[in-house]
A and B are shown apart, each in its own frame.
Chain A
Amino acid sequence: MRINDRVFGMLMLILAVAYGWEATQFPIPFGGHESVGPETFPIMLSIILGISSIYMIVRPDPDEAWAPVPMLLELSVVVLSMLAFAWAIEPIGFMPAAALVVSFLSWRMGASIAKSLITGVTSSVVIFFLFNNVLELALPLGLLEF
C-alpha cells in the first residue's frame, strides 16, 4: 500500500497553495515595493513544497503500518491527558496535575496501578521541590496554596 504518502502529499500540496496564496495577499509595506518584499521568500517556499508534494503523490514510498484503531484511540487519550495537564497546571497546581498525568502515562505504558501511582506521586513531589527550592523556578501550587 502506498496510501500514506499520497494523502500526506495531497495535504501538503493544499498547504503549499494556501500558503503561497496568503503570501500574495500581504499588504504593501510602508515605503513602497522593494525588490524583495515580505512575500518573496514565502512564495519561493511554497513552490518548493509544491514540487516535493507533487513528487510524493506521483512516486510514493511504501507505507509504514499505522497502529490499529484501538491503539490510535489510546494514543489520542494520552495526548488529551497531556493537554489536560497543560490546562490544569495553573488552576489545580503543579503537584496534583503532574502526579495524575505521570501515573496515567506509566499505567498506560504497562506498569501496575499501585506502582504507577507511586511513580507519579514521588516524581511530581520531587520535581516540585527540586524546581521551587533548589533551582528557584516557581511552579504553581494551585489548590495546595493556602
Chain B
Amino acid sequence: MDTMSLLMQGFAVALTPESIMFAVIGAILGTLIGALPGLGPANGVAILIPLAFSLGLSPTSSLILLTSVYAGAMYGGRISSILLNIPGDEPAMMTCLDGYPMALKGKAAEALAISAIASFIGSFIATIGLVILAPILAKFALRFGPSEYFALFALAFATLGGITGKNQFKTLMAAAIGLMIATVGIDISTGVQRFTFNTLELFEGVDFIIAIVGLFAISELLFFLERHAGDGLKQVAINKLKLSAKDIIKVLPASFRGAVLGFVAGVLPGAGASLGSFISYTLEKRVSDKGEFGKGDPRGVAAPEAGNNGAASGALVPMLTLGVPGSGTTAVLLAMLISLNISPGPMLFQQNADLVWGVIAAMFIGNLVLLLLNIPMVGIFVKLLSIPPKYLMPIVTLVASVGIYSVSHSALDLYFMVGFGVAGYIFRKVDIPLVPIILGMLLGPEMEKSLRHALVLSDGDWSVLFNSGLSIGLWTVAILGLVLPIIVGPIVRAKMKKSKESVKDA
C-alpha cells in the first residue's frame, strides 16, 4: 500500500540519531511542561517556538521536537491530576476523579503507571487512526476551491468554542479581534498600508509568536501573582510500585474504548480533548457499572487518560490536512508550521511528504520513549513538581523573553510581548477566550486570500461563496457549531459539573 511505504520512509527520517535525540528531549520537556500546574501544553509549546526558530533547527527537527513536547505535555498533565488533584491542563480534569482517590488510598504509583500505559494506548491507536485518515482527508480536501476554504475557516472559528462553550458571542468577538490584528501591515495583494499609522515596525504586521507568548505565558504569571499561588500545593506522597500483569490486563479494554472515542472527538471540529476524556469516562462508567468509579477505580483512570491522549493525536488530523486546528495547542503547532514557511493543508501531503510522514513516525517513537520514560522515571518528574512556582515562574518568564528577544534581537518585541500579556490578563478577566484570537492571527491572511480569490473568479458575485454543495455543507456545520452550544452547552456543562461534585461528596 502507498501509505505503508510512505510511513516506512517516514521511519527512515525519524530513526536518524538527530531525530531520536529531538524526540527524547521533546518528550522530557513536554512531560515537565504538562506536569507543572499553570504551564499547559499550549503555553509550553509557545515558549519553545521562538527558541527552535532562532536555533535554526530544520523544519523536520523543529516539528519532531514540538510534537513530542505536545505528546509529552498530554502525559504530564496526569501527574498533577493524580498527585495534587489539580489538572495540569483542562482535558486532564477527568483523570482527577479517580486518580486522586487512588493516590489517597496509597496507590499513587499504580495510578501513575496505569495512566501512563493508558496514555500510550490512547496515543498509539490515535496515531494509527491519523495514518489511515489523514491521507484520505487530504485527497478529499484537494477538491476544495477558495470559496470552500473560506467556509472552512468560518467553520473553524464557529466550532472553536466547542460544544461546551459558554458564550458564543465572546468566541466570535475573540476571533474578530485576532483577525483584525492579522490585517495590520501592508496588504499583500494591493500593497496598501492598513492600520500601520505610518510606523515602520508595523509594516510587516504583528508577529503572532510574540502574541502567543505574551497572551499565554505573561498573563499566566500575572494570574499566579494575583492568586498568591507562589508556594505551590501539597502533594500526596508516592508509594512503591506494585503492579501485576493482571492489573494491566484489567484496564486494557477501558483504554481501548477510551482511545477510539478520544480519537473521534479529536478529529471532529468543536469537540476537542476535554470532551474526549469526558465521554470516555462516562461511557466507561456505564459499561462497567460494578466498579467503584469516583473512589479510585483504575479503569476510571485509564479511560479518560486514553481518551485525552487519543484526542490530542486526533486533533492533528484537521490541523495537518486542512490547515485548520481544533484546539489551542494545535493552533500553536500551526503557528510553528507557518513560521517555518510550510503551509499546512492538503498540499502538505504532496509537497512535503517526507516531513509529514517523518513527523508521524516520530510520534510513534516519541510515544514509546514517553512510555519508557514515564514508568521508571516518574519519581524525578514528581520531585520537579514540588519546586514551588515562586522560583519556577520567574525563570520560565525569563526563558520566554530570551526566546522572543533572540528571534530578531529587538527590545521592541519584548515591549509587545508584555503588552500582549496585559491584554491577555484583561481578556481572561472578561472571559474572552484566547485561542480564537491566536487562530484569527494565524488564519487571517489565508482567509482573506481565499475570499479574494473566490470573488475574483466569480467577478464580484458574492453568491459564489454558497454555490457548491460542499460549501453549503460547510456553512451548515458552521452555523450548527455556533448555535448548538447555546442549546446543548448548558446540559453538557451541568453533567460535567455533576460528575465532578459527586466525587467531592464521596
Establish whether residues A106 and B390, one from each chain, have CB atoms under 8 Å apart when the complex forms. yes
Verify if B140 is at the interface (C-beta below 8 Å from A): no
The 8 A CB mask of A47-75 against B (1 = contact, 0 = none) is 01101110110000100101100010011
Verify if A26 is at the interface (C-beta below 8 Å from B): yes
- CB neighbors of A among B227-252 (8 A): 228, 230-231
Q: Number of contact residues on B: which range applies?
A: 35 or more
Verify if A35 is at the interface (C-beta below 8 Å from B): yes
Establish whether residues A36 and B225, one from each chain, have CB atoms under 8 Å apart when the complex forms. no
Cα A92 to Cα B398 with chains together (Å): 16
Cα A23 to Cα B173 with chains together (Å): 18
Task: Collect the chain A residues with CB atoms within 8 Å of residue B191's CB.
Answer: 29-30
Establish whether residues B173 and A52, one from each chain, have CB atoms under 8 Å apart when the complex forms. yes
Taking the nearest CB of chain B, how far is it from the CB of A121, in angstroms? 12
| Contact among B170, B187, B406, B455 with A35 in the assembled complex (CB-CB below 8 Å) | B455
Establish whether residues A38 and B190, one from each chain, have CB atoms under 8 Å apart when the complex forms. yes
Cα A27 to Cα B196 with chains together (Å): 13
**Most B CB within 10 A of own CB, among A51, A75, A127:** A75
Verify if B394 is at the interface (C-beta below 8 Å from A): yes
| Contact among A55, A85, A111 with B169 in the assembled complex (CB-CB below 8 Å) | A55
The 8 A CB mask of A83-117 against B (1 = contact, 0 = none) is 10111011000100010011101101111000110
Establish whether residues A109 and B389, one from each chain, have CB atoms under 8 Å apart when the complex forms. yes
Cα A71 to Cα B425 with chains together (Å): 14
Taking the nearest CB of chain B, how far is it from the CB of A98, in angstroms? 6
Closest to B177 in A: A49
Establish whether residues B399 and A108, one from each chain, have CB atoms under 8 Å apart when the complex forms. no
Taking the nearest CB of chain A, how far is it from the CB of B430, in angstroms? 5
Closest to B428 in A: A64
Establish whether residues A61 and B401, one from each chain, have CB atoms under 8 Å apart when the complex forms. no
Verify if B460 is at the interface (C-beta below 8 Å from A): yes
Taking the nearest CB of chain A, how far is it from the CB of B177, in angstroms? 7
Q: A55-B169, A82-B418, A102-B394 are in contact. Are A41 and B451 (CB under 8 A)?
A: yes
Closest to A16 in B: B176
| Contact among B183, B195, B398 with A41 in the assembled complex (CB-CB below 8 Å) | B183
Cα A19 to Cα B177 with chains together (Å): 11
Task: Collect the chain A residues with CB atoms within 8 Å of residue B203's CB.
Answer: none
Cα A42 to Cα B429 with chains together (Å): 26
Verify if A34 is at the interface (C-beta below 8 Å from B): yes
Task: Collect the chain B residues with CB atoms within 8 Å of residue A85's CB.
Answer: 401, 414
Establish whether residues A12 and B411, one from each chain, have CB atoms under 8 Å apart when the complex forms. no
Task: Collect the chain A residues with CB atoms within 8 Å of residue B218's CB.
Answer: 82
Cα A74 to Cα B230 with chains together (Å): 15
Taking the nearest CB of chain A, how far is it from the CB of B166, in angstroms? 8
The 8 A CB mask of B289-303 against A (1 = contact, 0 = none) is 000000000000000
**Most A CB within 10 A of own CB, among B394, B411, B417, B421:** B394
Q: A64-B429, A119-B394 are in contact. Are A19 and B190 (CB under 8 A)?
A: no
Q: A56-B169, A71-B226 are in contact. Are A102 and B395 (CB under 8 A)?
A: yes
Taking the nearest CB of chain B, how far is it from the CB of A114, in angstroms? 13
| Contact among B170, B398, B405, B459 with A101 in the assembled complex (CB-CB below 8 Å) | B398
Establish whether residues A42 and B183, one from each chain, have CB atoms under 8 Å apart when the complex forms. yes
Task: Collect the chain B residues with CB atoms within 8 Å of residue A102's CB.
Answer: 394-395, 397-398
Task: Collect the chain B residues with CB atoms within 8 Å of residue A22's CB.
Answer: 195
| Contact among A16, A40, A90 with B451 in the assembled complex (CB-CB below 8 Å) | A40
Task: Collect the chain B residues with CB atoms within 8 Å of residue A111's CB.
Answer: 230, 388, 390-391
Establish whether residues B401 and A131, one from each chain, have CB atoms under 8 Å apart when the complex forms. no
| Contact among A4, A30, A67, A83 with B418 in the assembled complex (CB-CB below 8 Å) | A83
Establish whether residues B391 and A106, one from each chain, have CB atoms under 8 Å apart when the complex forms. yes
- CB neighbors of B among A1-31 (8 A): 4-5, 8, 12, 16, 19, 22-23, 26-27, 29-31
| Contact among A37, A89, A116 with B405 in the assembled complex (CB-CB below 8 Å) | A89
Closest to A140 in B: B409
| Contact among B55, B190, B391, B397 with A137 in the assembled complex (CB-CB below 8 Å) | B55
Taking the nearest CB of chain B, how far is it from the CB of A46, in angstroms? 8
Establish whether residues B173 and A139, one from each chain, have CB atoms under 8 Å apart when the complex forms. no
Task: Collect the chain A residues with CB atoms within 8 Å of residue B228's CB.
Answer: 110
Establish whether residues B192 and A56, one from each chain, have CB atoms under 8 Å apart when the complex forms. no
Establish whether residues B176 and A48, one from each chain, have CB atoms under 8 Å apart when the complex forms. yes
Closest to B195 in A: A22
- CB neighbors of A among B326-364 (8 A): none
Taking the nearest CB of chain A, how far is it from the CB of B469, in angstroms? 24
Establish whether residues B402 and A90, one from each chain, have CB atoms under 8 Å apart when the complex forms. no
Verify if A45 is at the interface (C-beta below 8 Å from B): yes
| Contact among A37, A75, A87 with B411 in the assembled complex (CB-CB below 8 Å) | A87
Closest to B415 in A: A86
Task: Collect the chain B residues with CB atoms within 8 Å of residue A48's CB.
Answer: 172-173, 175-176
Establish whether residues A61 and B405, one from each chain, have CB atoms under 8 Å apart when the complex forms. no
Task: Collect the chain A residues with CB atoms within 8 Å of residue B207's CB.
Answer: none
Closest 5 CB pairs of A and B: A35-B460, A86-B414, A109-B230, A29-B190, A105-B394
Q: A48-B176, A64-B431, A123-B398 are in contact. List 8 more A-B contacts (CB 8 A).
A: A26-B194, A42-B183, A79-B222, A82-B418, A85-B414, A94-B402, A106-B230, A119-B395
Q: What are 10 A-B interface contacts by the 8 Å CB criterion?
A: A12-B173, A19-B180, A29-B191, A40-B451, A51-B172, A61-B431, A94-B402, A105-B393, A106-B393, A109-B225
